[in-house]
Amino acid sequence: MSGCCSPEYRKSVNEKEAQVNDKGKEQLPLFAKIIIVFITAGGLLAAFLV
């Protein structure tokens, strides 16, 4: 039994899903930090130019 309902298939799908979720957790904070740095730098630049 190697169809979509076999225990081994579900196990492999769950492992791959966990790997994708872990990668997403690592990349999102880095992306968010970059955005925060640009917003902060823009705010400081605007404050000094006014």
Domain locations in the chain as residue ranges: 25-50
**How confident is the model at residue 27, as a pLDDT?**
61
Maximum Cα interatomic distance, the chain, rounded to a whole number of Å: 71
Query: Is 9 within 8 Å of 3 (Cβ atoms)?
Result: yes
Rg of the chain over Cα atoms, rounded to whole angstroms, equals 21
**How confident is the model at residue 4, as a pLDDT?**
62
Each residue's pLDDT tens digit, 1-50: 455 667 787 888 888 888 877 765 566 677 888 899 999 999 999 998 98
